[in-house]
Amino acid sequence: MYSTEIQTVLICATLVPLVWVLSMFLPLLTLANLPAVIVAGAAGMALADLYSGLLHWGADTWGAVSTPYVGPSLIRSFREHHVDASAIT
């Protein structure tokens, strides 16, 4: 388990950016902006799904395990998980 100091740093490293982002965007969350927030959220989810699908397809299709930089870390993991689904986790 992590020491108390490391736990404190991890909690602060998570909460400080979260509070900063919330302090910027909470004033925009009014009833008048609700349709825009819903559309932006749906578009964000759709784009994230598209980009992750493209990354998955690209890692499965192109390159080899010997490809510099991304081969051993990305391509090997993506191709290995088709044989053993829990291997990527």
pLDDT digits (tens, 9 = 90+) for 22-70: 899 888 888 888 899 899 999 999 999 999 999 888 888 888 889 888 8
Q: How far apart are CA 59 and CA 51, in angstroms?
A: 12
Number of domains observed in the structure of the chain: 1
Which stretches within the chain are classed as H helix?
4-25, 34-61, 76-80
- Which tokens is 29 given? 């969350």
Query: Cα dist. 16→33, 61, 70 in Å?
Result: 25, 39, 31
Boundaries of domain holding 76: 4-88
pTM exceeding 0.85: no
Q: How far apart are CA 28 and CA 68, in angstroms?
A: 44
